[in-house]
């Protein structure tokens, strides 16, 4: 099961961590801004380390496996 949920009833369909209202974008913004994963988790206690790891793995898979032309 994906930890990324897109539901038009939650934040207008913005991708969020499953079971939360925390946008996935917040994770990448935090990492780009220099925060560590523990700092992100402190800021968003409804998100688990397992969820962060799953989202990062999904992103890695998407980057490593582009759609064939």
pTM of the model: 0.89
> pLDDT by residue (tens digit) across 21-45?
999 999 999 999 999 999 999 999 9
CB of 24 within 8 A of CB of 7? no
Domain ranges of the chain: 4-64
Separation between Cα atoms, residue 67 and residue 53, nearest integer Å? 23
**Range 4-64 classified under CATH 1.10.10.10:** yes
Tally Cβ neighbours within 10 Å of residue 11.
13
Length of the chain as a residue count = 69
Separation between Cα atoms, residue 20 and residue 3, nearest integer Å? 10
Question: Residue range 54-59: average pLDDT?
Answer: 96
Separation between Cα atoms, residue 2 and residue 58, nearest integer Å? 8
């Amino acid at each position: 099961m994906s930890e990324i949920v897109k539901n038009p009833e939650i934040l207008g369909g913005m991708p969020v961590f499953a079971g939360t209202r925390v946008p996935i974008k917040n994770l990448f913004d935090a990492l780009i801004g220099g925060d560590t994963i523990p700092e992100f988790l402190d800021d968003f206690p409804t998100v688990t380390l397992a969820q962060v790891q799953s989202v990062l793995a999904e992103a890695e898979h998407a980057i490593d496996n582009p759609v064939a032309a």
